[in-house]
Amino acid sequence: MKFGLIDRVIELEPARRIVAVKAVSLSEEYLSEHFPTFPVLPGVFMLEAMVEAAGWLVRVAGDFDRSVILLASTRGVTYKRFVEPGHLLRVEVDCRRLAPEASEFAGACYCGDTEAVKGRFTLRHMNLADRSSALAATDRRIVDEARKRWALLYRIADDNQPS
Which amino acid is residue 129, in one-letter code? A
Q: Is 23 in the site for other proteins (CB under 8 A)?
A: no
Catalytic residue list contains 87: no
Q: Which is nearer to other proteins, 38 or 63 (CB)?
A: 38
103, 17 contact by CB (below 8 A): no
Q: Is 97 in the site for other proteins (CB under 8 A)?
A: no
Q: Which residues have CB under 8 Å from 161's CB, separation 6+?
A: 10
Q: Which is nearer to other proteins, 4 or 100 (CB)?
A: 4
Q: Is 34 in the site for other proteins (CB under 8 A)?
A: yes
Q: Is 56 in the site for other proteins (CB under 8 A)?
A: no
6, 89 contact by CB (below 8 A): no
Q: Which residues have CB under 8 Å from 39's CB, separation 6+?
A: 26, 31, 32, 84, 85
Find the shortest distance in angstroms from Cβ 74 to other proteins. Answer: 5
Identify the CA nearest to 92 among candidates 1, 162, 12.
Answer: 12
Find the shortest distance in angstroms from Cβ 60 to other proteins. Answer: 17
Which residues are at the interface with other proteins (CB under 8 A)?
A: 1-4, 28-30, 33-38, 42-45, 47-48, 51, 67-68, 70-80, 82, 119-120, 128, 135, 137-138, 141-142, 145
Residues noted as catalytic: 34
